[in-house]
Amino acid sequence: MQKITDVVLATERYGSAESWKYLAKDGVMERRREGTGGESKGNSIVGVFKSVFLPQGYPESVSKDYLQYQFWDTVQAFSSSLSGTLATQASLKGVGVGNQEATVAAATVTWLLRDGTGMLGRILFAWQKGSKLDSEAKKWRLFADVLNDIAMFMEILAPYFPAFFTLIVCSAGVFKSIVGVAGGATRAALTVHQARRDNMADISAKDGSQETLVNLAGLLVSLILIPLVTDNPVLTLSLFFLFTILHLFANYKAVRSVVMETFNEARLSIVLQQYLKDNQVLSPQEANKREPVFIELRKSSPIKLGVRLQDILRSPDELDLALKQSDMPYLLGVKNGCVCVCLGPETTVDDEIRAMCQAIWLSSRLSDQASRDQQRKGHWEMVQESHKLMDKVFGPFLRGVEAAGWDIKRTLLDWDEWRVEWKIKSN
């Protein structure tokens, strides 16, 4: 009697999960998972958990740093939830909850003033720093979390200074409003980085589910903590500092785990300076490890991108100097120790990267103590020298960064919107 063998008709796979095959056996098509005889209950539970809390198509549909970032983000969210419970308890106590002499009107006024100042702070911060949140998402993400801890600490201390309670909680409200703007905007910027299949909405929704689960866990722990810390300021402050240290550490690890493949000023500066030093192009992983994640209050030679023409030059002679040795669709100049870049209307992404490379080189020369003698000769000579340098190195540099895995189709450089079309051409 002839033995009937199973014939494989097709195979299928769901993302990077187990593969399945369809077999023809005795005229019937049978679906069977490869490697095991069937699907276990444990695997089905894990699968349901992944489908609820992870984006569809994970891990192929997200960036490689997604899981590490989400782990530390979960830790910081849990510790922040517990710190927030302690701060909320202190705020309620400060407005008179549990105090028979307190009035509803006084508590309401305090709460309204807190919310009102917070709204004004939100508008002003978005106006002043909104354009910076994309280009420096890591810095502002960490800044927001540090400011959030400061605000909660102020709320915990506020009840012990009743004469200044309203002032303190209003200041804390302003800080928290800034946290809301910076935290939400930078989270959106990180979601853009993590989304690899135009699935920003799915990643954002699953991040909300993860945060809700963490807050639920924090709520359960808070139910145990509240009876312990009530009327015990020493234990309250001790636990707050413990949670704050954990919160800040987790946030630092979270932003450090992010590996962005697009250039902002810091990452481009790190890669360019290394290339000019030894002709080596750093990978995105190496450059992101060196990228600073703390806000710098003042730079020695700052760079302004997309400025007005009058921010670079004042006379037709200076325009001729700016165009000398260059036919690029941008102008560079130095004003009051600041490197300024003026863009033409037809500037490409490659032109923007090149202009930024020149600005970085000029900024480093201005900051270099050894270049003071050259600065006395005039900064236009330095600008012309930068054009010659870019003519020599930019082509190989751009090919090198693309080969190293950098995304040069777009940038996160902080360009302003001024565009200038100049009429004079240098001979």
Q: What is the pLDDT of residue 136?
A: 92
Percent of the chain predicted with pLDDT > 90: 55
* CA angle (186, 192, 196) in 5-degree steps: 150
Q: Is the pLDDT of residue 97 over 80?
A: no
Residue 306 pLDDT > 60: yes
pLDDT higher than 60, residue 51? yes
- Does 376 have pLDDT greater than 60? no
Distance of CA 71 to the CA centre of its chain: 16
Give the CA distances from residue 50 to residues 45, 71, 203, 206, 218, in Å, rounded to whole numbers and listed in that order: 9, 14, 12, 10, 21
Amino acid 103: pLDDT: 61
pLDDT score at 426: 47
Burial of 417 (0-12, 13-18, 19+ CB in 10 A): exposed
* For range 349-374, the mean pLDDT: 82
The pLDDT value given to residue 427? 45
Q: What is the mean pLDDT of residues 43-67?
A: 87
The band of 114, judged by pLDDT with boundaries at 50, 70 and 90, is: confident
Alpha-carbon gap, residue 54 to 209, rounded angstroms: 9
pLDDT value of residue 175: 95
Most confident of 13-22, 45-54, 99-108, 351-360: 351-360
Q: Using CA atoms, how far apart are residues 374 and 63, in angstroms rounded to an integer? A: 45
- Please, what are the domains in the chain? 7-53 (no CATH), 66-257 (1.20.1250), 265-403 (no CATH)
Do you find a cis peptide bond into 316, omega within 30 degrees of 0? no
- DSSP 8-state code for residue 371: G
**pLDDT 10s digits, 198-257:** 899 999 999 999 999 999 999 999 999 888 888 888 898 999 999 999 999 999 999 999
Q: Is the pLDDT of residue 313 over 50?
A: yes
Contact 328, 299 (CB under 8 A): no
pLDDT of residue 62: 94
pLDDT (tens digit per residue) in 200-215:
999 999 999 999 999 9
Sign of CA dihedral 357, 360, 362, 365: negative
Which of 54-68, 98-112, 296-310, 341-355 is predicted least confidently?
98-112
CA distance 215 to 222: 10
For residue 370, pLDDT over 50 is answered with no
Residue 133 pLDDT exceeds 60: yes
What is the total residue count of the chain?
427
Question: Is pLDDT above 80 for 96?
Answer: no
Confidence of residue 160 (pLDDT cuts 50, 70, 90): confident
- Tell me: pLDDT of 110 over 80: no
Q: What pLDDT, on a 0 to 100 scale, did the predictor assign at position 277?
A: 94
- Burial degree of 28 (CB within 10 A; 0-12, 13-18, 19+): exposed
Range of lowest pLDDT (25-29, 112-116, 192-196, 368-372): 368-372
